[in-house]
């Protein structure tokens, strides 16, 4: 098992969203380590994608981190209360990201359950807000380097699965972009979001 290098992230958002499936997200908060496999992602393709925060070329606001190289965390708040964790893709000045939508818990499950106040393992990380609570990812991690030691990804060689794709979720405002098939899942995995 090895930590993913910067080069892994330097591809377009759609390719990265597919490549992230099966990889392991690791969160180390003061020695409290949680690990979970990525089983669902969504690609957001910047200035050509009406669903993307960076669609209107917002390089000075909350999207600023998206304009750097891939391999950094883009964390934002929805509904005024839930964090969403995205991974910046591509090269500098190409603001694309992959939203992490669901994880399969692997290690530190007791810690995740305490954070989420539930003992239902299938409900721990089945949505962007849920997984952020379970993994203790919040806006303090905006801009975190995923090649660092606090929040990072590893590869344990898990492969051989089929990737399913379909339209992204909860982006009806995005007109024709709402139908783009840029949501990717590990086909048949029971931990994908509902």
Tell me the pLDDT of the chain (194 aa) as tens digits: 789 999 999 999 999 999 999 999 999 999 999 999 999 999 999 989 998 988 886 666 788 999 999 999 999 998 878 999 999 999 999 999 999 999 999 999 999 999 999 999 998 999 999 999 999 999 999 999 999 999 999 999 999 999 999 999 999 889 999 999 999 999 999 999 98
**Does 16 reside within a domain?**
yes
Residue numbers of the domain that contains 135? 2-186
**Does 194 reside within a domain?**
no
The pLDDT assigned to 60 comes to 66
**Does 118 reside within a domain?**
yes
Contacts with 172 (C-beta within 8 Å, 6 or more apart), sequence order: 178
How far is Cα 104 from Cα 4, in angstroms, rounded to an integer?
19
Please state the domain count of the chain. 1
**Does 193 reside within a domain?**
no
What CATH number is attached to the domain comprising 6? 3.10.300.10
The pLDDT assigned to 62 comes to 80
The pLDDT assigned to 2 comes to 86
Q: Are 46 and 96 in contact (CB under 8 A)?
A: yes
The pLDDT assigned to 81 comes to 83
Count Cα neighbours of 53 within 13 Å in the Cβ-side half-sphere. Answer: 22
**Does 103 reside within a domain?**
yes
How far is Cα 142 from Cα 48, in angstroms, rounded to an integer?
23
The pLDDT assigned to 75 comes to 97
**Does 191 reside within a domain?**
no
**Does 119 reside within a domain?**
yes
**Does 78 reside within a domain?**
yes
How far is Cα 122 from Cα 119, in angstroms, rounded to an integer?
9
């Amino acid at each position: 098992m090895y930590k993913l290098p910067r080069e892994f992230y330097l591809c377009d958002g759609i390719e990265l969203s597919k490549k992230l499936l099966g990889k392991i997200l690791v969160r180390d908060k003061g020695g409290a380590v949680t690990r979970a496999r990525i089983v669902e992602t969504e690609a957001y393709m910047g200035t050509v994608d009406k669903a993307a925060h960076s669609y209107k070329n917002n390089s000075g606001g909350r999207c600023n981190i998206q304009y750097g190289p891939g391999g950094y965390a883009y964390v934002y708040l929805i509904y005024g209360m839930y964090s969403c964790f995205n991974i910046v893709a591509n090269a500098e000045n190409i603001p694309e990201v992959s939203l992490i939508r669901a994880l399969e818990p692997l290690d530190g499950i007791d810690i995740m359950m305490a954070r989420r106040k539930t003992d239902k393992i299938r409900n721990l990380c089945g949505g962007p807000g849920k997984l952020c609570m379970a993994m203790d990812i919040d806006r303090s991690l905006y801009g975190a380097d995923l090649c660092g030691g606090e929040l990072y990804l590893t590869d344990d060689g898990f492969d051989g699965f089929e990737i399913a794709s379909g339209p992204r979720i909860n982006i009806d405002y995005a007109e024709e972009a709402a139908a783009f098939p840029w949501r990717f899942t590990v086909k048949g995995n029971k931990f994908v979001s509902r």
